Amino acid sequence: MSDRPAILFVCLGNICRSPLAEAALRAAAARHGIGIEADSAGTGGWHVGEAPDLRAQDIALRHGIDISGYRARQLERADFDRFSHIVALDHDNLAVLKRLRPSGARAELSLLLDHVPGRSGQPVADPYYGASEGFAATWADVTAGAEGLLAKIAGLA
């Protein structure tokens, strides 16, 4: 286990929001020259082994990031000690994390937009069943969240 901050993003399917949050954090960390580990997982297991939704791949690529090699996985118990921070994309997934977190585990739990001034308590809306334009809003949300989270973790704020 390294001392670097290790951040796991968690949504429902791990094919739309959390892979985009992972990509946004990796990009922000690279921009700022900050060493972190990042990963993502779903609370549900329906899409395990799948690449991100094509609409998520497309919005990431429009911002210069190729996420086609990401593969969905389901949250597991060991994640609560592997990661220093586990960040939920919405309240339902945060509730699952709170329920599953073993007492004394390493990971600190939070909601992504709690890290964005003025947006505390807001969820990142699930774009899965909507139109592809919804993914632009998802990208904007996860980018803001990643920047805010990084600022806190790395003491930039």
> Least Å distance between CB 97 and ligand 4NP?
14
- What is the Cα–Cα distance from 132 to 49, expressed in whole angstroms? 22
- What is the Cα–Cα distance from 16 to 19, expressed in whole angstroms? 6
> Least Å distance between CB 128 and ligand 4NP?
4
Q: Classify burial at 82, counting beta carbons within 10 Å of its beta carbon; exposed 0-12, middle 13-18, buried 19 or more.
A: middle
Phi and psi at 4, nearest 5°, equal -65, 150
Select 56 or 116, whichever has its Cβ closest to ligand 4NP. Answer: 56
Catalytically annotated residue among 53, 90, 126, 141: 126
Does residue 11 carry a catalytic annotation? Answer: yes
Binding site for ligand 4NP (CB under 6 A): 11-17, 46, 126, 128
Select 3 or 67, whichever has its Cβ closest to ligand 4NP. Answer: 67
Provide the annotated active-site residues: 11, 17, 126
